[in-house]
Chain A
Amino acid sequence: MKKLVSTAFASFALLCLSTAALAAQPIKIGALFAVTGPASFLGEPERNTAQMVVDEINKAGGVKGRKLELITYDTGGDATKAVQLANKLVKNDQVVAIIGPSTTGDSMAIIPVVEKAQIPLISCAAGSKITEPVKKWVFKTAQNDGLAVAKIYEQLKKEKKTRVAILTVSDGFGSSGREQLKAQAAHYGIQILSDDTYGPKDTDMTAQLAKIRGSQAQALICWGTNPGPAVIARNAKQLGLSIPVYMSHGVSSKKFIELAGDAAEGIRLPSGKVLVADLLPKNDKQRASLLAFIKDYQNHFKAEGDHFGGHAWDAVMLLKGAIERGGDTPAGIRNALEATRNFPGIGGVFSYSAKDHAGLTKDAFTLVEVRKKDWVLVK
C-alpha cells in the first residue's frame, strides 16, 4: 500500500513537472508606478488596473497561448529610484517591455535606460516632452497637456472670450500647463491678462483671486491637482467671482466635486471620456472599451475607474496588441507598437506613427461641466 502511494506521488510529481516544462515561459513585462508618495493618486489606480488587465488576459488564455507576467515596482515618484528600478527590470528581470512610470519626471529619468537597453517603454505620464522629439523606444498613453489646453481655448474662442487669467500650481504639472497655456494663446487669439501661481500645499488662494477679480479677464483657467483647485473653487465662491472657471484634467474625478462641494457647480474642465462614458453617443469608438474598463474596475476594486487607471489599461492593451502582431522580442514589439492605428482605448483613439509616439488628438478630451454634483457634456 505504502509503495503504491509513493509511486502515485512520484508519477503525479513527474506529471506536474512535465506539464510545467511543456507550457511556454511567460512573457515578462515590467511596470513602474508611483504607488506611494505625492503622485500616488496616479500610481495606485495605474498599478491596480495594470494587474487587473494582465490577470484577465491570462485568464482568457494569455497572448498567443503564452501567459503575461507583470513585474511591478513602486518608484515613490522619485526619479533616482525610478532609474534604479528600471535598471533592475532590464538586467535582473529581463523584461521585454516596460509600462509606466506615472510621472513625467520619472519617465524622463528612465528614458536613457530603456534607450540603451533597446526596450520599448509606454509611459503613463502626460508631459509632452516625453515623446517630443520622438524617441525610437518611447511611447506614451496619457494625453498631452497641450491637447487639454487646446480643448479649453477652442471653447473660449467659440464663446468669443479673448481675455483670460491663469492660475497654475507651482509643481511639474502646473508649470507644464502654464507653458502650454502661454504657448497656444496666440494661436487662438487669446490674451493672458494675469499669470499667477500657488503652492501645492497652499490653503488659501483668495489673494490671487481678488487680484483676478479686479482684472478685465473673461475667464479663469486654473491648472492643478487636488486639493488646490478645490480650495480655489471655494475661494472663488467666497469672493463672488463671476467669470467662468475652467480647471484642468488633473481634477477630473468625483473627488474634486466632493472636496469643492457646492463651489464646484458650473466649473468646466477637459476630461478623458471615461468620466462621461455613459453619456457618450452610441457610435463613439471608445464606448465599448470605456464601459468594459469601468465595469471591470468596479468589480475588482469597488471603486470608480478613473482616467489615470485608464492610462495603464491603454498601455497593457497596446502592448498586448503589439505582442500579438510583432512577437515577443523588444524590437518586434516596438515596430508593432509604432504601426498601431485606430486603437480605441480609454484615453482616446490611438494612432502611433514614426513621427508621433503620443498617438492622440484633442478629440481625446471632452469638455464637461459640473452640474448638480455630476458631470454633463458641454455642447
Chain B
Amino acid sequence: MELLNQVTQFVISGLATGSIYALIGLSFAIIFNSTGIINFAQGEFVMLGGVLTIFSLNVLHLPLLAAILVAVAVTTVIGLVFERLAIRPLKNATPLMLIIITIGASILIRGLVMLLWGKDTQALPAFSGTDPISVAGATLLPQHLWIFGVTVLVIIGCRLFFNHTISGKAMRACSFNRRAANLVGISVGRMVLFSFVISAAVGALAGVIIAPLTMTAYDVGVMLGLKGFCAAIMGGMGSGLGTVLGGLILGTLESLGAGLISSGYKDAIAFFILLLILFIRPQGLFKKGETERV
C-alpha cells in the first residue's frame, strides 16, 4: 500500500514537472516548425518571463496580473527584436549558423539579466495559495493545476492557430518548403518573425507560471531549455500532442527514476531514454516517418 501511494506521488510529481517541460518543448517546436532552426535562446525566454514578473511585482509594484502581462509583453518584444537584429539580417545563412547565433543570444541575454538584476534566486508568490491538494493518496499544489491548465490552453491555442488560421497554415507551409511558400505569395520573413513572437510569448508564459514553484534566477533557463528541448525531440518537434506527451513522459520517467531506482541517476535515466529514442525513432515517438518528396 505504501509503495502504491509512493508510486502515485512519483507519477503525479512527474506529470507536474513534465507539463513544464511540455510547455517549453512547445515553444521550441513553434520556431522549428516555421524556420527549421532550433532556438537555443528559448530557455532564456522562460527565464525572462519569471524574472520580469518578479521585477514588475517588486520594483514597479504592479498587481500580479498586470506584472504577468508586462513580463510576457516585454519578452515578446525581446523575441521580436532578437529576430530582427540577429536572424533577419543574415541572408542565406544555414540552419547551423542560425542555431549558433541563438546560442550566442542566450549567453548575451543571461549576462545582461545577471548584470541588471543580480545573481540571487527570487521567488514569486503562488497564484492561489500553497495549501496542498490530495489526489489519490498523493499531494500536489494549486500551482500545479495552473501549470496543467495553462499547458492545455496553449496546446488548444496552438492547434487552432496552426490548423485553422491563414497565418498558422502559412507558417506551416514555410517549414515544409520555404521556396514554394514564397512562390505562392507567403512572406517567409514575416512568418519567421511571427514564429519568434509566438514562441517568446509561450516561453515567457511558461516562465511565469513555473516561477512560484521552481523559483527563478538568471541561469534557470539553461536546464529548463535543455529539458524542454528533450520533450520536443521526443515528440518529433511537432507543435502538438507529440511534444506534450514527450514532456510528460520525460517528467514521469525522471520522477520514477529518482524515486524507485536512484536519485543520483535521475538525469542520466532521462537522457538515456532520449538517446534511445534518437537511435530507434529519430522522427520522434509519435510521428510517422517522413518521406522526402522530390
**A residues whose Cβ falls under 8 Å from a Cβ of B:** 40-41, 44, 167, 170, 196-199, 201-204, 206-208, 210-211, 213-214, 226-227, 230-231, 234, 237-240, 255, 258-259, 261-263
Contacts and interface: CB of A to CB of B under 8 A. Distances in A.
Contacts of B132: 237-240
B13 A201 contact: no
Contacts of B139: 238-240
A322 to B, nearest CB: 33
Given A201-B223, A207-B14, A226-B121, A231 B9 contact: no
Interface stretch (B59-67, B155-163, B190-198, B212-220): B212-220
B255 A207 contact: yes
Interface stretch (B83-91, B263-271, B277-285, B286-294): B263-271
A261 B143 CA distance: 15
12 contacts: A199-B266, A201-B220, A206-B10, A207-B263, A207-B266, A208-B263, A210-B13, A214-B2, A231-B215, A234-B213, A262-B130, A263-B130
B140 A261 contact: no
A231 B220 CA distance: 14
B258 A207 contact: yes
A213 B6 CA distance: 9
What does DSSP make chain A's interface, helix, strand, loop or mixed?
helix
Interface in B249-267: 254-256, 258-259, 263-264, 266-267
A197 B123 contact: no
A40 to B, nearest CB: 5
Interface of B: 2-3, 5-6, 9-10, 13-14, 16-17, 20, 119-123, 125, 130, 132, 138-141, 210, 213-215, 217, 219-220, 222-224, 254-256, 258-259, 263-264, 266-267
Contact of A204 (B17, B119, B123): B17
Contacts of A207: 9-10, 13-14, 254-256, 258-259, 263, 266
Given A201-B223, A210-B259, A259 B121 contact: yes
Contacts of B130: 234, 237-238, 261-263
Contacts of A203: 17, 20, 210, 213-215, 220, 224
Nearest to B133: A238
Given A207-B263, A263-B130, A214 B215 contact: no
Nearest to B11: A207
Contact of A210 (B6, B16, B141, B267): B6
A230 B138 CA distance: 21
Given A214-B2, A231-B214, A261-B130, A238 B259 contact: no
Contacts of B223: 199, 201
A238 B140 contact: yes
A206 B255 contact: yes
B191 to A, nearest CB: 33
A206 B9 contact: yes
B215 A198 contact: no
B259 A208 contact: yes
B123 A258 contact: yes
A179 to B, nearest CB: 14
B87 to A, nearest CB: 28
Given A201-B222, A237-B130, 18 more contacts: A170-B264, A196-B264, A198-B258, A201-B220, A207-B255, A207-B263, A208-B258, A211-B6, A211-B259, A214-B6, A226-B121, A237-B132, A238-B139, A240-B139, A255-B120, A259-B122, A259-B215, A261-B125
Contacts of A237: 130, 132
Q: Which of A202, A230, A231 has the most CB of B within 10 A?
A: A202
A197 B265 CA distance: 9
A208 B266 CA distance: 10
A231 B121 CA distance: 11
Contacts of B264: 170, 196-197
A121 to B, nearest CB: 26
B5 A214 contact: yes
B57 to A, nearest CB: 14
